[in-house]
Homo-oligomer: A and B are copies of this chain.
Amino acid sequence: MVKITDVARHAGVAPSTVSYALSGKRPISAATRRRVEESIRALGYRPPLGLGGAGRRGSNVLALVTPLRAGVPAPAAMEYALAAVTAARGHDHDVLLVVREEGEEALRQVVESTPADALIVTGGQARDARAPLLSLLRRHGRPSVLVGSPADPTGLTCVDLDHGAAGELCVEHLVGLGHRVVALVGAPPEAYLRGTGAAQRMVRGFTATADRHGLSSAVRPCPASPAAARAVAERLLRERPALTGVVVHNEAVVEPLIEAFEALGLRVPADLSLIAVRPPGPATTSRSPVTSVDVPAAEAGAGAVDLLMRKLNGAHVPETTLLPPRLTFRTTTGPRATP
């Protein structure tokens, strides 16, 4: 394996000069730089990929950290990874997939000792488990980007779907189809206890747009279980018999909710239109073709890498980057049946 000293000898300069030529951490005369570059090419030297090593250095590796619940990596994480890898390639970086159980200790280790230049952290589902990680990221020196919307983004850099705009988009879609009575089945109640965040922005976008169009609207938090979905569906229909449009902002209950409504005698989309807002993943392309606004994995992954690169270059980046929603019209929404 050809090393930096080989290059130095070949170019007739000191090893440190090669090092600096490589890192750009101090000015090098054009002539020397050229000679060094030539030797590098001649010998085929390649800066050791992804090491941490002795003299802490750029490793050209981005860590994609995914906390997870059960031990099984979420497909959504892979969508981000795909996008991140593609984007990272363009900046001559590789991606280290770091998958860890949720919980402070395991993640602390990663954040502190990974050799990566920078970190992308995708959303841990359990909000409580995520809090310590966030404070870690805030404190820590290494550039990082969070995919998702924490309750308090201060001091962090975040990329996420613009949930407010998503709420608006969903309502506009329903309005366009003639619906006049709509409901939002939202995140579990806990999500609303915190400050700002995806859940709240969604509610605001949804409600404001419904009001603007003079719709009758309702918002119902919903725990992530089929039983809860059934309960919500029943109550909703009892209280709003004229309901024909539903937005589901809770990945776990999309299917259960559809089943619940159908069990209650409504056909989807003939009697009831339904839109899901959810993370990317195979579900997105799966058999059940639900009209949906998906968190745009490609944009999120690419955006995260982009922000990271800018941070690595010392640039200032916005605290929160919101990605515009896109609605994919599939088979669960349709025009309101004329009574």
Q: How many Å lie between the Cα of A85 and that of B51 in the bound state? A: 20
Q: How many Å lie between the Cα of A82 and that of B71 in the bound state? A: 12
Which residues of the other chain, B, contact A282 by a CB distance below 8 angstroms? 282, 285
Which residues of the other chain, B, contact A54 by a CB distance below 8 angstroms? 53-54
Contact status A49-B97, CB under 8 Å: no
Which residues of the other chain, B, contact A110 by a CB distance below 8 angstroms? 49
Q: Min CB distance, A269 to chain B, in Å?
A: 18
- Total residues of chain A contacting the partner, CB 8 A: 40
Interface residues of A in 52-104 (CB under 8 A from B): 52-54, 61, 71-73, 75, 78, 81-82, 85-86, 89, 94-99
Check A85/B105 contact, CB under 8 A, given A47-B113, A114-B49, A282-B285: no
**Can you list 22 A-B pairs with a CB-CB distance of less than 8 A?**
A1-B112, A1-B113, A46-B112, A48-B113, A49-B98, A49-B110, A49-B113, A49-B115, A50-B52, A50-B96, A50-B114, A50-B116, A51-B52, A52-B52, A52-B53, A53-B53, A72-B86, A78-B81, A78-B82, A95-B97, A96-B96, A96-B97
Residues of A within 8 A of B (CB): 1, 44, 46-54, 61, 71-73, 75, 78, 81-82, 85-86, 89, 94-99, 105, 109-110, 112-116, 282, 285-287
